Structures are given as structure tokens and as C-alpha cells.
Chains A and B, each alone.
Chain A
Amino acid sequence: MALEIPKVSYSGKIREIVLGKGDKAITVGGGTSYPFYLFEGQMPLKPRIAMEVYDSPPDDWAPTALEPFADVAGDPVAWAKKCIDTYGAEMIALQLVSTDPNGENRSAEEAAALTKKVAEAVDVPLIVWGCNNAEKDTEVLKKIAEDCAGRSLMIGPVTEANYKQVGAVAIGYEHTVIASTPIDINLAKQLNILLGNLGVPDGRILIDPTTGALGYGLEYGYSVMERIRMAALTQEDERLQFPMVCNLGKEVWKTKEAKQSRDEAPKLGDPAKRGVLMEAITAQLVLAAGADILIMRHPESIALIQDMLNDLLAA
């Protein structure tokens, strides 16, 4: 009995986007089928993982998450280098949490100076992520774009509230924008249209669909990503044919269960393995939904995902 596999005919393709520059530049996207459905399409460029680096020493991390970086936690440059030299990071994501006006409220100048130092110290593509306060991010990302002119950073989150200002500097100083919308396919498309109208070249847009952690709303982002991929590949919705970024490490590791000790949660097994699995499963699920770039924290979760990617994309 020979089965004829019912195949989906895809008419669209995910845009290929070059990240960073020079020898270590990376290209993502290019998919012509649902993620890993290699029996009916191609995924020529594998999804990539950026390792997180924080701009100030973490104060409330699970011991498991902090342990690999304990010796570099106060020094973002050393931290970034350790990610590359020790853990083989192919990209870095600098999380600028200390710029948050509700927190340390560090200035745009400080953030830009730090970003520049990190950018000079690493040769892999660099993502720079603000504090999710649109007003402050505008100021911070503008300054960074200017001070790091020509370094081809990926900057975000760029939202409906600040796309004009941040989009304009991204065009002028040659950076890629991470277009961020709150778990909504229509808003995602709309923002990409607006960025296009503003003049941001199509080769410099990435989608951040907003990612929730496993057990904390993961399914909302998951379904929006599936719908974005469906529209991009089968309905030729060209304003959705951009690679997707999931900033998931920080979401997972702030959950209660990723942090609880064995005493606090005896039923939840080994805290170290639990945290790693929660991060890796979140990553695995968003990959299945269409992620092209993952921002992750723990070297072990990253290694597990690399292993899965190799298996899923094996020739």
C-alpha cells in the first residue's frame, strides 16, 4: 500500500535577512514551507540563537541561570565574550533593562556608550533590546543607532508608538529594526506596512510577535506565529514574509517555577533541569510555530535546542 503524501502548495517565501556584517554575518529566513516540513519545502537557513547579556548585574536570577555567568555578571563586555568564547554564541542580545524609568533609569548616553563597547568587542551580530517603555526606548535606541552608525545592529522593540523616530535613525545609520506588536497578526502586518512607508528597506525588518513563557501565555504567541507563517507562505502576504524573533529567555526565567528551589517546590524535581527544560521547551515550541531567531539565556538549553535543530534539519 503506497501512500501519496498530501502536500501543501506554498506560494510564498520568507525573506532572507542578513544580520550583522563581516565574516560573522548571519543570514536567516528563506523558508518555503511550515517550519521543519522538509518533505514539502525548504528551510535553507537554520534558525539562530542569540545569547543574552545584561547591562547590569542580575539580582533575582535562579542560581542555575546565574551560575554560568557569575564571574562576568557585572561586566557586559566580558559577559558577551564569555558567551562567544566559552559557549560558542553565534549572536549576542544586549538587554538594556537598566534604562527602565521604573528601575535604575540609566541614561541614553550611558546605554549607547555601553552598547558601543560591546559592539566593538564582539564580531558576531548584535541585537540591542530596550526596556519596553516606548518613550525611553525611543531616546535610547536613537542614541545607540547614531553612536553605532554602520554597525548593522538589530534594534528593538520598535513599536507603533516609536516606529517613526527609531525607524528614521535605523534607515540613516543602517540598522535592522525589530518590529514589535502585542500578539496580533493584523497589528504585526500594519507595523510592517508603516515601516515600509517610512522607507525602512525590506531587508532590514524582523518581526517580534511577542512571546510568552511556557505556562504563561505561550499559546497566544504560538498561534499568532502560526497564522503569520500561514499568511506569509500560503496567502503570499508579503508584509508578513519577514523572519520572526522571540525574546524568550527573560520571559521563562522570570516565572515562579523556573526559579523555585527544591524546598519551595518539592514536586517539581531538580530545579536546575526544570529551568533548563522550561526554557528549551518554550524555544522548541516557538521554533515549531516559525521562529527564526531565539534570544535565550542558559547554555544548556541552547545546546539542547542546537541538537534538536541539527536533527530536524538533517539532510
Chain B
Amino acid sequence: MSLLERDGSKKIEISSLQYDGIQKCLTELTQKTRATALLLSDINGQLIAQNGDTRQINTSVLSALAASDFAATSEMAKIVGEKARFRLLFHEGETNNVYLSNVGENHFLVIVFATSVTLGVIRVYTKKAVETLLEIVNNSSDADNGKEILNTEFNLHLNDALDSIFKK
């Protein structure tokens, strides 16, 4: 699901099959833990899937911030001589807690939950979900058909849309 391009940049794809599997797993995790919201992101902050009640949460921003949080603590770990990066991060708030857990090397989970939910419950179910998710994201299933996602016509339309959006 991750391809290296000629200039070295990376392309990551999630197939419909993978996405369904991810959503199924996240839905289960939300139900079991009674977490408010869950995000699955890649290590660079790209949001892949979200679940639970995310209406009050800007999830793409949360995803970007969580990734930098991970990246910054990994650098800190290196500086203090830690060999592996921290596997999880926990932020305790007044009403909400945020729990971040690695999903392998390239992904992580963000779990937002009320302080009334105990951390133990979150930890136990998350651990199981991480295994499932890891299997899904590492298993590059058949990518979908219709690869002509971007063609010349798309370009024209995109430019029209940009022109009308950028018009002051």
C-alpha cells in the first residue's frame, strides 16, 4: 500500500476493502471502550480513518498535531539515548484524555475519551485493535479499479474550481 516514486516521494493507497476492515475494527473499538472519537493516521499526519463522534473535533488538524507530537517525542527519545521510540503517549485533561498508540512503524491511533473512562480499558482493547489494524494496513490487497482518478478532464475542472474559489 506504499509505493516509492521516481523522485523518492511516497504514494500510499488504501483500498475499499482495507478501508472497510479498518472501519469495522474502529467501530468495535469505539463500542468496547466507549471512547469519544478514534483516528487512524499515517506517521506523517495523514488522516486515514475516523470513528465515533467527531463532530466537535477538527480531525485533520488533530491528526497533524498528533503526528508532530510523536515525531517530537521520538527525537527527544533519541537525544536522551533511548533506542526505540516511545510506543504510546498519554495526555490527561480535565474532561478529556488523549491516548496515542503506535500501529507498527508507519501508523498510529488517536483515542479521545472522557475522563470517566478508565485508561486500563482503553489500553487493553487498543492493544488488540492494533494487531488487527496492523494486519490490514500491511496487507496490500488488490487496489481498486478505475485508476484514472486524475485525467485531463479532471485537471480542467480542478482549475475552474480553483479559479472560482480564489476569486476575491
Answer yes or no: are A and B bound together in one complex.
no
Chain B residues proximal to chain A, CB less than 8 Å: none
